[in-house]
Amino acid sequence: MSNVVGLIELVSAKFNVFSTGIWSLATIQSLVNSIDSPGNIFGCWSKLNACLVKEFGLGILSLSAAELGWAIDVGKSDPVEITKAFLSQINESPYRDEIYTLVSDKRALNEAEAARQRAKSGNRKSPLDGVPVSWKDLFDTENIPTQSGTRLLEGRVPSTDCEVVQRATQAGMICLGKTHLSELAFSGLGINPMTRTSPNRYDLATAPGGSSSGAAASVSFDLAPIAIGSDTGGSVRIPAAWNGLVGLKTTHGVVPLDGVVPLCSSFDTVGPLCRSVEDAGLMFEILSGNNVNLGNSPDLNNVKLLVCQTSMLEHCDETQLNAFETAVNELQKAGANIEREEIPELVEMTQLGPIMFPYEAYKQWGEVIENAPDKMFKPVLDRFLGGKHVTAEQDATARARMLELRQSYNQRTRFYDAVIAPTTPNPAPEIKPLMEDFELFWDVNLRSLSNTRIGNMFGLCALTLPTATKGAGFMLMSAPCSEEKLLQMGMALEPVVAV
């Protein structure tokens, strides 16, 4: 019976409309009985929510990807019904064209019908079979324009899906369309006057975060249950944090980049933006091809976390720092072991970023950009052109030192489950001042990336979780190729840091 009461409390807290006076224990118990493992309150959360769709008329658009998947599995919802609901929401939204570059209605409905038939015959391909997904417009999609947020690639239409889109399709997921981004994914702010700037969930006057700006907006505005973005220096985690989402930065090389428009191919990674850690885990399994067991979340008493005492905190705004410290306090009260110390490798590694990122980005795109510089937004153009003045020798020296610092960092942090920090040191900035002062744009962009790009340069996997403060994320960085452990830990931390 304590499980039943716990479920009532959880639902009341989430939806803020129910109470023990409205819900009968018999009704809740009937829902619990339809769930495999009611003893694990948080483990069966997605299944309970899926039950609520039918039992209490809660809308499809309010559910996570995992919840939708389970609703399909038990026949409480239908892939075609779900897909039509999202397509209708997209096409009726005043932000449709600011979020999506293209909506693939025909493809989505064809894929949904196939998913419906598989569900009816009991042959679903994955837990997310029949669940819609949006794709950042740098993932090649067959016969659908893929232009990476830039006029430089206007008219580029791939003939095949990229590898990760193929994997999602093979798992039965539904392609809703392509989403806007920063030009060639080279800005953490998500402001793109050359195409469209996607809206921020909390304040339309502020930047959405980038470069996966449309990806975050598609989920936060209920125009997709899950989105796929890329992260070269923070491009999944920043927009996720500024829009109250979960974002997973994968280890470089774990998820294939074949058919993904590159920025810096030695740092580029692919990852989901979504409503829950469970969603991130299910999507990572599909994208990587690795089995992920989310059922082994650790006891917080056995979790050991490290706060980098100054490097990732000293430049934080008060709002971001307070949100982070509040989450740390809640974790400590829940039993987590948290220590603080300096990580000197971070300071030196940060100094290498302005060498390596612009060099590789210019090497990739310099010739194309030089032929049509007027097609680019000046602050982004200037960042690319900065790589023109970095020599191959300087880049090679920086990369050699980067590898040494990675070894030193891994040795220093080997006894911790994760290093934690505010995802961004600053909240989403107002757009207007940045458009009036490009030097300010440059400074705010680099500051916004300062914490997240640490994970890319050290070759780590990382996860951002929403906190109780709007637009403030809580970031965990773990050892390379430890995504399963990171996601399991994220499942345990998720309800605590959001308090």
- Catalytic positions, please? 136, 211, 235
Q: 215 with 229: CB under 8 angstroms?
A: yes
Q: Considering only CA atoms, which of 195, 166, 201 is closest in space to residue 273?
A: 201
110: helix, coil or strand? helix
User: At CA 199, angle to CA 196 and CA 202, rounded to 5?
Assistant: 165
134: helix, coil or strand? strand
Would strands 461-466 and 246-249 be described as parallel, antiparallel, or unpaired? Answer: antiparallel
Q: 182 with 191: CB under 8 angstroms?
A: yes
Residue 278, phi-psi category: left (phi > 0), alpha (psi -120 to 50), beta (remainder): alpha
Q: Which residues of 42-67 are buried (b: 16+ CB within 10 A; e: fewer)?
A: ebbbbbbbbbbbeeeebebbebbbbb
Q: Which residues of 105-140 are buried (b: 16+ CB within 10 A; e: fewer)?
A: eebbbebbebbbebbeeeebbbbbbbbbbbbbbbbb
User: At CA 285, angle to CA 84 and CA 490, rounded to 5?
Assistant: 95
Peptide bond into 211 cis (omega under 30): yes
49: helix, coil or strand? helix
What's phi and psi for 132, nearest 5 deg? Answer: -70, 155
